[in-house]
Structure 1
Amino acid sequence: MEKKFVLGIDLGTSNSAVTLCNLESGESRTVDVTQILAPNQIGERSSLPSALYLPNGDEFSVEAIKLPWDEGGSRVVGIFAREHGAQVPDRLVTSAKSWLSNPHVDPQSAVLPWNSEIESGKLSAVEASRLYLEHIKQGVLYAARMEGREWNLDEAQIVLTVPASFDEVARKLTSDAALAAGLPEPVLLEEPQAAFYAWTDRVGSEWRKQVQAGDVILVCDVGGGTADFSLIAVSEQDGNLAVERISVGEHILLGGDNMDLALAYTLQAQLEDEGTEIDDWQFLALIHTASQAKAKLFEDAGLSELPIAIPSRGSSLFAGTVSTVLARETLEGVVIDGFFALTGADEMPEEEGGAALQEFGLPYASDAVVSKHLARFLARSLQNVKTSESLSALIGDQASALEGSLLKPTAVLFNGGVFKADAIRARVLELLASWCGDAPRELEGFQPDLAVSKGAASYGRNRVTGQGIRIRAGSARSYYLGLESSRPAVPGFKPPIKAVCVVPQGMEEGSSHLLEGRSFGLVTGKRAVFRFFASEIRSGDKPGDLVNKADKVLEETSKLEITLPPMDEFPEGQPIPVVLNSVVTELGNLELWMQHVDSEQKWKVEFQVRME
């Protein structure tokens, strides 16, 4: 069916947003999402907090938390969920997006709110994501009806953004959540790429004047809950500028929420020095108040301090307030010098302390210094680019970018709410200058809050119309299939795991690779395990390349236990000689075909490994 509009959806860790591009008129705008602001009060906001509250029994009447498109009563999503849930945290679901990529907890298990003692009603990360996306979908359709228009979702191109650092499992689960929410199958787009598309859309043809062939652009994205880094290289092809994503970072749970928490702890200690103790309920209110004060102080450089007031509870509902101040000196000491310290280029994030027993939960960054995570990303990016002649060639005349221990960016595009603060952007540029010798250029015209959804819509428009720029990306990582080494059995010794490269980094959708000249033994008729590995720093590996000690030098991403249909000529469990053919479909799925070397018999396994 012909596409008539695009929905660019930013499913954020802390806040979500949606931009609609009308392909008929060319108009593109952020859709204000209707949501509950307070009991019996609904309104529209440009973003939807990614927060979900589970009311307790008859805590609210059905009418008090009813939206125009549903019957209400069971769950609340958005602003009121976040505000009210902060006071009842065991009924508040947050950070569902981060739980999608948690390697220790099944994202499809109903475990949220985490550590909550409620007896029923818990949700999985996938279900929470579905509810956010369903709310966004209904909000878009409702806004259209209020304007006298009915959109048909079958006529929509859905572009859904995910962190560049998401592994293939988290990407697949995100796509599944969208389908379960009643959206057409989405195209997945990396968030830093979306920010770049939004920037080019905003500045128009001027983007070609701000960058040049040989530039390496660092997209530095720090939002409420995550830090996401990508590098984009600019080259010249047939007289035109071309862009290619050459490196993505690790998934780092570190962002503005951490900064708000650090400020709250600092202010709590300040109150205690003044002779005032606060309880857990008041501390939650302190986090929220500190966040608001942080934003105002960074926005207005003329303010030296702001008052901080939180309610105190007595025999009546509220017995007064507890007060202190947040000074600019304290703010800058905690946020700028604490999270964006001027560290050395060789200072990497510190590992976990190593306690024998640890509490399960989200794998938050153990080191809160964003500077160190950025240094690690640039060091790994240099290692990745140097392993590939084609990537090294993209740097062109900027060969100095490959000298030293870090890949040196020549320009920076900021994204995420944290970088609304001029002082934080200035600190990052100062930090990079200390590492690179010269400060990279800051690309002008960035949009810190809504860029991701706007860029998703822009990309969707370009995709449908065939016009506009396109970032060449392909697979963000190389992917490998585990192999058991063929060795004589030795008591107490397990054969080492090898891996064969089946998807090289940069493999594009609609392409395939036949691993010629090598056959493998495939077990059919009995349950067997496929082990999948990945690497962000081995761009030089080609399909068919073998990697020794895969479990030590690669990252194991998933295991797939499956029983493949047997072949009549072979007993169950006897390895069948096959050749491998990997295919990345137009939708970004990896199909791994295994064909018997002497017949047309073949088997397939499939999972999501990449996005645009």
Structure 2
Amino acid sequence: MTALTASPSYVVGIDLGTSHTVVASVPVGGAAADIALLPIPQRSAVGEVVAQPLLPSVRYQAAQGELGEAWLQPWPPQGASPEAPAVIGRWARELGAAAPGRLVASAKSWLSHTGVDRTAAILPWGAGDEVAKVSPLAASASYLAHVKAAWDAAHPGAPLQQQSVVLTVPASFDEGARALTLEAAQSAGLPQVQLLEEPKAAFHDWLLLQGAQLAQQLAGSRLVLVVDVGGGTTDLTLIRVDAAADGGVPTLTRTAVGEHLMLGGDNMDLALAHQLEPAFAGAGQRLPAQRFAQLVQRCRMAKEQLLAADAPAQVGITLLGGGSRLLAATQTATLTRDQVQQLVVEGFLPAAQITDGPTKRQGALRGFGLPYPADAAISRHLAQFLRQHADGALPDTLLLNGGVFHAHALVQRLTQQLGDWRGSPVRVLHNPHPDWAVARGAAAYGLARVQAQVPQQVPQQVPPSSESNQPLVQVQPAPAAIKTIIPHIGGGAARSYWLLLPGKAGAAPQGICLLPRGTEEGVRMVLSGRRFALKLGQAVRFVLLANSRSNLPAQAGQLLALEGEGWVELPPVATVLPALPGSTQTQVEVQLQACMTEVGTLEVRCVKVEHGVADPAQSWLLPFAVRGALGGQEVSESVAASADATSAEGQKGLSSPAGRLPDAVALIDRVFGTQAQAVTAKEVRQLRQSLEKILGPREGWEVALLRALFDALLARAKRRRRTTDHERGWFNLAGWCLRPGVGAELDAWRITQVWALYGQGLGHGKEAANWTEWWVFWRRVAAGLNEAQQMQLLEDVAGHMQKAVQQTARSGGKTSHGSYDDMLRLFAAMEAVPWQYRQEMGQWMLQRLQRPDETVQTWWAIGRLAARQSLAANAHLVMPPEAAQEFVHATLAQDWRKNETAMFAAVQMARMTGDRARDLPDALRAQVLEKMRAAGAPARWQELVERVVPMEAQDQQRSLGDSLPPGLVLL
């Protein structure tokens, strides 16, 4: 744990939950019995502040003046202002029930959603521009800041930042989500916190409650399954119990954790809302996004009432109307206790076989842009987890945590299911307070660590294996076993971590193990037998993967083919290593080191090696790339960004075409290098064809190869202006290799480098063909440009387009500004600019379409401008459905049998995403679908409008206006 600036007086456990935040604390010199919950002051109404242990993890983004001065008490939320007031907690939840478009909810789920920029202001999801938005990171930080203010008010002599703070996270959180959780804590003024997995915390609380009877209580248990179902996630954890020979405290070892499963109470609320939706919208109809969000809020409150111990038989669900028909349009439906239990139990814990697995078909769980799993059946996910990790010994003991298990029917079904799989009953450990067991357990865990005396660590050497794939590994031992008031739960790292290396052609890629599963916190693995050569001042990217399989052989430094189940790609570790001070050295030899820090995060370092000896004074921490927009893209690459400098095994897999990369770079250097060479104009013009002879057809070049080629071109960009042919060839090839501007890690760095060329402009600006390649280049990489860059590009291309239109009218078709069609396509690629600008562009294009000679590409451009699914930008930048309808109606006025491009534009604008904030109204989509059928549209186009399905490659290429690199997938 990071050293505190002052001796702490308290240990504080914080459960930052999806639905609620809870805080528990205990004096450092106290006992477990002294653990107490913190009453958290929060506004419950305009004139009332209450202090309760549960702080709803919601934030209401009010309109200016809406709350008067009430938002200032008990203290202003972090990030709020008089122009954008906000409120957190109970009152926020009440206000959000009436105006869901202003409610920030499920921030924790968004924080783990890798398909969006988690640092961008995107919440409330789907809200209009009149609502001030915050990022998932900022929302999470504001809840922690509220907790800090509450603690400091109650303990003025012991501010929270000086206490020992344990912050819980789902066991399934990946390294990116953990890093962002720590960043949220730092933003809230808590720079020193330790992360603890929520199921471990819940089990710590149960252990704590047993006291001196612990050994007796666990006497008959050998394998404990912890099922923690929160508001946004389901966490599965197995803990092995080994009885002590002397009858003392047993040894506890966490043996497995489940994969990230975004499935919890939120999904149950959505399921109930879908069930009631026909009562409000009519059979076969859907409510508008705002009304549906209101229904979800109402169902959440009804669910809590109907699953409580003293639940009523039924609850009325009322939706108010809007505008002048507020009362007249009010509707009411009834939700019964039996109905809720039946829907929740059968929908989320249906009877299953131990051989079952999750289905792939998307269920009715998609609601607000979050990547919920296709199968809502927790029982089938559990069966798969046990098959993978229980090694044939099914758990005999069960601990349940989370508010959903207040429902006796859920407890009964899950217990019965496990008993059926085992063939004998399973024992259920009593959890008296599932709402705050995690916070209490975190405090107990932290108290044990603070009270423990940790001995000094002494390095030791582990002799190298005789096998060639087992290099020398240096290991620093973990702290000695901690003797505490409750037993320590061992097990170390829940996953093994691997670095992706190149694989042989046609074979599975290989990985090298950085950190084996089970490695204890504080143990540093040093891959001293493998060294890597890295260039300074250039982009370095390591692709990491994790695997939680217990039967996967894993030792540090081991090479393994990355085959089988359970591989999860982590956010890459990526950086640009700075040049060494006072040195002209451009390349360094490094070794990799990895450890699971005491804070609870994975740390990867490069340490410089000089004359075979590592120099800890010259090391680089490789941060996880969790900032910025990933654009909903997944990248799969088979070539690592670094090569082994000392082992022949480091060159394995550099086969065709990647193995011929040096020949391709040499050819690029011949054309664009510094040395004057006798290169003919024909050689320059045929550079692409020459590269294809070496590497194969360019359509098959993988992402890693493309970026390597681009890096070679970028390093020689100064020589792109030698001739008109050089300039055209450089922009043509560089744009192809960097397209679509995002997707491979460090593309943001590449875009920063290439944007510097924009201000330099063309060296041969009198050549129309060069202007065309200029526009094509920026269109191909536009997805990587930020809003300010796209706005500047937009203004420039608009000016050139206007001149081209005027020049074409005068000259009868000729223009010196490049291709009008390519400028038009560049217009449509501006996905990061505010949608209002794209709306204006579309309206201008509709006017142009009144001309009989306007290109059919204009319809394609309109479809891209108002598409429901962005191809590269985050989904929150999509044009709202209300604004897009103007363009849909324009396409409907066309004869689609004669104008297929207009029909495809309608497909892009009417495509169903499952996100009500983006989808067109059902009636308009039905109108588009009816006309498509009449026009004989391809079945795959009709399916895109009718249901949520991925776009096929050929249609995705048509939407993008270009092909995508193999291995890069846009969701």
TM-score by length of 1: 0.84
Alignment partner, residue 391 of structure 1: none
Secondary structure, counterpart of 1:558 in structure 2: coil
CA distance in structure 1 between the aligned counterparts of 2:435 and 2:319, rounded to whole angstroms: 30
Structure 1 residues 34-88: Cα deviation after superposition (integer angstroms, max 9, x where no partner): 1121223221121111111111122221x12222334974221111212212332
The answer to whether the Cα contact below 8 Å between 1:91 and 1:113 also exists between their aligned partners in 2 is yes
Aligned partners of 1:484, 1:248: CA distance in 2, in Å?
A: 29
Hey, what does 1:500 align to over in structure 2?
512
Q: Of Structure 1 and Structure 2, which has the larger fraction of its residues in strand?
A: 1
Deviations 1:100-119, CA, capped at 9 Å, x for gaps: 21121121122222222226
CA-to-aligned-CA distance 1:489-510 (integer Å, 9 cap, x gap): xxxx799742211111111122
Code of the aligned partner of 1:509: E
Q: 1:136 to 1:282 in 2, by over 3 A?
A: same
> Equivalent residues in 2 for 1:128-277 (5 A)?
128-144=139-155, 149-212=156-219, 215-237=222-244, 239=246, 240-269=249-278
Corresponding residue to 2:138 among 127, 131, 143 = 127
Q: Is the 8 A contact 2:500 2:512 kept in 1?
A: yes
Matched, 1:470 2:477: no
Q: CA-to-partner distance for each residue in 1:282-317, whole Å, 9 max, x for gaps? A: 6555444444444444445896x3141415448575
Quote the residue 1:91 is aligned against.
102
Tell me the SS of whatever aligns to 1:438.
coil
1:377 alignment counterpart: 385
Report the CA distance between 1:275 and its aligned residue. Answer: 13
Tell me the residue number matched to 1:572.
586
The answer as to 2:129 corresponding to 1:118 is yes
Structure 1 position 560 matched with structure 2 position 573? yes
Q: CA deviation at 1:25?
A: 4.7
Matches within 5 A, 1:576-587: 577-587=589-599
Structure 1 position 603 matched with structure 2 position 619: yes
- For residue 22 of structure 2, the aligned residue among 13, 17, 20 is 17
Per-residue CA deviation, residues 345-379 of structure 1 (Å, 9 max, x unaligned), is 1221112459xxx9993211211111111112212
Aligned to 1:433: 419
1:341 is aligned with what amino acid? P
Q: C-alpha distance in 2, partners of 1:553/1:282?
A: 39
Given that 2:151 and 2:159 are in contact with CA atoms closer than 8 Å, whether structure 1 keeps it comes out as no
Higher deviation after alignment, 313-322 or 259-268: 313-322
Deviation of 1:515 after TM superposition, in Å, equals 2.7
Q: Structure 1's 495 and 463: CA in aligned 2 closer, same or farther, altered over 3 A?
A: same
- Quick one: which amino acid aligns to residue 380 of structure 2? K
Q: Is the 8 A contact 1:41 1:64 kept in 2?
A: no
What amino acid is aligned across from residue 530 of structure 1 in structure 2? F
Q: How many angstroms apart in 1 are the aligned matches of 2:334 and 2:101?
A: 30
1:281-360 correspondence to structure 2 within 5 Å = 283-300=292-309, 305-313=313-321, 315=324, 318-319=327-328, 322-352=331-361
- Give CA deviations for 1:160-184 in whole Å, capped at 9, x if unaligned: 0000000111111101111111114
Segment drifting more, 455-464 vs 540-549: 540-549
Amino acid at match of 1:376: Q
- The number of residue pairs the alignment matches comes to 570
| Matched residue type, 1:442 | V
Distance 1:436 1:597, change over 3 A: farther
2:498 to 458, 472, 480: 480
Aligned counterpart in structure 1 of residue 522 of structure 2, from 504, 510, 513: 510
Which residue of 2 is the match for residue 66 of structure 1? 72
Of 546-555 and 114-123, the range deviating more from structure 2: 546-555
Question: Structure 2 vs 1, CA of residues 238 and 177 (structure 1 numbering), >3 Å: closer, same or farther?
Answer: farther
Please tell me whether the aligned partners of residues 61 and 131 of structure 2 are also in contact (alpha carbons under 8 angstroms). Answer: no
Give the number of the structure whose alpha-carbon radius of gyration is greater.
2
Please list every run of 5 or more consecutive structure 1 residues that lacks an aligned counterpart in the other structure.
383-401, 488-492
Amino acid at match of 1:426: Q
Aligned partner of 2:410: which letter? I
Name the CA distance, whole Å, in 2 between partners of 1:271 and 1:110. Answer: 32
Once the 2 structures are TM-superposed, how far is the Cα of residue 579 of structure 1 from its aligned partner?
3.8
Structure 1: distance between partners of 2:597 and 2:362: 43
Higher relative contact order, structure no. (Cα contacts within 8 Å, ≥ 6 residues apart): 1
* 1:24–1:80 distance in 2 versus 1, CA, 3 Å: same
User: What's the CA shift for 1:33?
Assistant: 0.8
3-state SS in 2 of match to 1:364: coil
Cα distance in structure 2, aligned partners of 1:570 and 1:547: 37
Residue 413 to residue 169, structure 1, CA distance change in 2 (3 Å): same
The letter of the residue matching 2:8 is K
Quickly say closer, same or farther: Cα 1:591–1:290, change in 2 above 3 A: closer
Task: Quote the Cα distance in structure 1 between the aligned partners of 2:66 and 2:311.
Answer: 44
Residue 558 of structure 1 aligns with an amino acid whose one-letter code is: P
CA distance in 2, matches of 1:275, 1:502: 53
Partners of 1:277 and 1:498 lie apart in 2 by 48
Q: 1:522 to 1:550 in 2, by over 3 A?
A: farther
CA RMSD of aligned residues (A): 3.3
In the alignment, is the contact (CA less than 8 A) between 1:197 and 1:456 conserved in 2? yes
Cα 1:549–1:381 change in 2 (3 A) is: closer
Shift of the 235–526 alpha-carbon distance from structure 1 to 2, 3 Å rule, reads same
Indicate yes or no: 2:87 matched with 1:76.
yes
Deviation per CA, 1:307-328: give whole Å up to 9, x if none. 4141544857535964443334
Give the Cα–Cα distance (whole angstroms) in 2 for the partners of residues 42 and 427 of structure 1.
40
Indicate if the aligned counterparts of 1:172 and 1:607 stay in contact, CA closer than 8 A. Answer: no
In structure 1, what is the Cα distance between the partners aligned to 2:566 and 2:333?
51
- Contact 1:580–1:595 (8 Å) recurs in 2: no
CA contact (8 A) 2:536 2:586 kept: yes
Q: For the residues of structure 2 that align with 1:359 and 1:65, how far apart are their CA atoms?
A: 29
Counterparts of 1:302 and 1:88 in 2: how far apart (Å)? Answer: 27
Q: What percentage of residue pairs aligned between the two structures are identical? A: 36
In the alignment, what sits opposite 1:32? 39
| 1:536 equivalent in structure 2 | 548
